[in-house]
Structure 1
Amino acid sequence: MLAITTYPATTIDPKLPDLLIVHGLFGSARNWGVIARHLADVRTVHVVDMRNHGSSLRAETQSYPDMAGDLAEVITSLGAPMDVMGHSMGGKAAMHLALTRPELIRKLVVADIAPVAYSHDQSQYIAAMRALDLTGLSSRSEADRRLSATVDDPALRAFFLQSLDLKAQPPVWRLNLDVLEDQMPLIVGWSGIDGQFGGHTLFLTGALSHYVKPEYRETIRNLFPKSHFARLPGAGHWLHAERPREFEQAVQVFLKA
């Protein structure tokens, strides 16, 4: 089963189920620690490491049916139904789960992704991580300096470096880069699954992001007829990192409504 980090509720609202948070490509549960603690004000929050990420299993595939199956195993073991929130790749895995096992999910939050195939590729970041000189590396600041040679955006560097284990000798990436590169067409693609999820679904996007275009809304509504749309001003694709407090507020209002 996937590695799980659990944040117990500060106080329990018996009307609300547990919340499961699913990170995106190159992420891990540790990226969501602060947000998970804040969302655990009235419910227990679980955050997973997806397959080939963090401390979870190393597998040969990264398909959405497989990732959705991993999430189904987590929810059935901890107690269904749950509310589920997924970002990017994690949002697609959560959507696939909602369309195939709708009984496991009460409400769904999809952060800056749509149920469509994309033409872009993220393999350049795998190349950048592979190219990072790990020789004698002992500090995150030095790792950031070295990674800046291939990744300009400091926020992206900070995000990627959370998956670098500096305690290992030599340091290692907590990512199965070989499989992620091999499976990239599946990750940026979409399984084309039919079906509908009848629960309320929030598509929360960054106003500066182009991942959820207006022309995708018909496809979204066909699959998620109770869909709602909201945008965070000043945020791009990594909206939870760029506008964390606004992100939390939007999620809380939707899930508690």
Structure 2
Amino acid sequence: MSLLNHKILGEGKPLVILHGLFGSLDNWMTLGKKWAEDRQVILVDQRNHGNSFHSDDFSYQVMAEDLLKLLNHLQLDKITLLGHSMGGKTAMEFATHHEEKIEKLIVADIGPKYYPVHHHTIIKAFYSVPVASLQSRNEADDILAQQIPDFGIRQFLLKNLAREKNGFRWKMNLDVIANKIEEVGKSLNQNAGFGKPTLFVRGSKSDYILNDDLNLIHSIFSDSRLETIENADHWLHAEKPQEFFQIVNSFMC
């Protein structure tokens, strides 16, 4: 049985955090350490990401099954589950199938609806980097900059670059993610349901959760509410960490 790579911080009531597409548990280390002052925090690398195993299977169903295996291995019940973007979709998929495992659910800047694929530029940029012959991380940054001008996004993406004895490699399973990118946008089963307390958090500058989506959200997540962080985009936890921390903390208490 392949277990997801994970890191456990602190002690107390468990909070499990799932990163988004092209991310890893490292993206949540700063906030995780803050929450770990009062509770146990389990940071997780999803399959085909970070230091977790690679697999040709890549869907929300199998990612939810991965999480169930990990929770059973750690003997965890009654968790608070937090997921951002793709991790939020995994969290929603898990919650609607394993409600008994969850006390509270937090979904960051993603809804249960279908999203058209919009990651072609990033995938193309990844493939433009000759990782086997790279001389430095700066060289990779210069190449990515030709297609991704935003410095912050490039720094996020470059966390996937791992140095080896003879060069570099991508940590994530780029080929499978690229070939199955349609899976990332798939909608939740709209006949599903989850009745435990649920918090959706969106950025005011992001278009991932629109006001028109609220009816669908409430039809599946009957005890849910939405908070908006002003002047934040899709990576709201990185752009406005203090505001995000306070909103989530208030909900968990």
Structure 1 length-normalised TM? 0.93
Alignment-derived partner of residue 127 in structure 1: 124
Alignment-derived partner of residue 58 in structure 1: 54
* Runs of at least 5 residues in structure 1 that lack an aligned partner in the other structure: none
Distance 2:163 2:231 in 1: 32
2:43 to 17, 23, 47: 47
Alignment-derived partner of residue 158 in structure 2: 161
Tell me the secondary structure at the aligned position of residue 171 of structure 1: strand
Question: What letter matches 2:14 in structure 1?
Answer: D
Task: Tell me the alpha carbon deviations over residues 117-172 of structure 1, each in whole angstroms, 9 at most, x when there is no partner.
Answer: 0123213211101101333423x344323321121111110100011102452201
Question: What letter matches 1:57 in structure 2?
Answer: F
2:193 to 191, 196, 219: 196
Determine if contact 1:121/1:184 at 8 Å carries over to the other structure. Answer: no
How many residue pairs get aligned? The number is: 249
RMSD: 1.3
Determine if contact 1:7/1:45 at 8 Å carries over to the other structure. Answer: yes
Alignment-derived partner of residue 171 in structure 1: 168
Distance 1:173 1:193 in 2: 35
Give yes or no for the alignment of 1:147 onto 2:149: no
Alignment-derived partner of residue 69 in structure 1: 65
Alignment-derived partner of residue 24 in structure 1: 20
Q: Give the C-alpha shift of residue 103 in structure 1.
A: 0.7
Tell me the secondary structure at the aligned position of residue 64 of structure 2: helix
Give yes or no for the alignment of 1:250 onto 2:247: yes
Distance 2:225 2:54 in 1: 35
Determine if contact 2:117/2:182 at 8 Å carries over to the other structure. Answer: no
Tell me the secondary structure at the aligned position of residue 83 of structure 1: strand
Q: Give the C-alpha shift of residue 193 in structure 1.
A: 5.0
2:108 to 108, 111, 116: 111
Alignment-derived partner of residue 220 in structure 2: 223
Alignment-derived partner of residue 5 in structure 1: 7
Distance 1:21 1:175 in 2: 18
Task: Tell me the alpha carbon deviations over residues 210-254 of structure 1, each in whole angstroms, 9 at most, x when there is no partner.
Answer: 000111111100110110110111110011111111111111111
Determine if contact 1:123/1:184 at 8 Å carries over to the other structure. Answer: no
Alignment-derived partner of residue 236 in structure 1: 233
2:206 to 205, 209, 227: 209
Question: What letter matches 1:8 in structure 2?
Answer: G
Alignment-derived partner of residue 95 in structure 1: 92
Q: Give the C-alpha shift of residue 51 in structure 1.
A: 0.4
Question: What letter matches 1:4 in structure 2?
Answer: H
Pair 191,230 (structure 1): closer, same or farther in 2 beyond 3 Å:
closer
% identical aligned pairs? 36
Distance 2:47 2:165 in 1: 20
1:182 to 179, 184, 190: 179
Pair 136,224 (structure 1): closer, same or farther in 2 beyond 3 Å:
closer
Tell me the secondary structure at the aligned position of residue 167 of structure 2: coil
Pair 36,168 (structure 1): closer, same or farther in 2 beyond 3 Å:
farther
Tell me the secondary structure at the aligned position of residue 141 of structure 2: helix
Distance 2:70 2:213 in 1: 30
Pair 144,103 (structure 1): closer, same or farther in 2 beyond 3 Å:
same
Distance 2:45 2:69 in 1: 13
